[in-house]
Structure 1
Amino acid sequence: MMKFRLVLGLVAFGAMTSAVQAQELVGQGPIIASYYNEEMSVPRGWSVSYGGTRDGMEIYSFIVDYETSTPFTRSLSADDQLKRIFCDGDILESWVRDGMRVAAGKVWFDEGNWNVVPPVKPISCG
């Protein structure tokens, strides 16, 4: 019985530690957006900006330039691009799995109109 309590205590401690670590990453959005724009292989005509925290969720906006993008890259999902950032690596993926909430919207200008798909729900990795 004592071993069970010890294991249960360690699991609970690990979960609390992970939640605290996830809170440390909150607010680092500009650095993450800069990394996407400068270091990652970005679809043609795409960039991302950090929109701040809303209701405990980190918000990113993907901007698609219709003059430089292709029909294929225009059709890509903002959520899929956000998953490329947060779910394809060890560190950021662990933050999302441990409680960090991130969501993406998409903005583009086409035929004289601004089109906006607002962030709806946080992504999940896995």
Structure 2
Amino acid sequence: MYFPETHYPSFPFRYMSHAAQPVYPFRQQFPSLDVSTLQISVKRFRELIAQANILLNSLENRQFAQQIMASAQKGDDPAVQRLVRSIGVRVPVTTRFTPTGVFFNLRINPLHEENCCSLSVGLRWGE
């Protein structure tokens, strides 16, 4: 059938303003939730927070802070580690320092069954 250029047949159905959504006959099944690992991680993380609190409270002591900074400026990492252990922190702590700050990474003992989490603390000490 030929139509002149100025006349087109009307659209055979109404224009829909939105696309049809597919219908799925079933819902995807997910495994049951087990939050026990998350709860253990939360408990261990609270322990890390308590250990970080010991560290922060000690760093408020001017003499201790000066000892940490002096050892760090000399690049004496074993002395920094000894100082951190001397205040009663019971978890492994990795220390990294720069001219402008210090970073402490506290973690649950890696040999512990629930090696779940770590806590990083960054503090500025210079310009």
TM more than 0.5:
no
Counting strand residues as a fraction of each chain, which structure ranks higher?
A: 1
Q: What TM-score bracket applies, with the shorter chain setting the length?
A: 0.3 to 0.5
> Considering only CA atoms, is the larger Rg found in Structure 1 or Structure 2?
2
Q: Which has the higher contact order (CA 8 A, sep 6+)?
A: 1
Normalising to structure 2: TM-score of the pair? 0.33
Normalising to structure 1: TM-score of the pair? 0.33
Counting helix residues as a fraction of each chain, which structure ranks higher?
A: 1
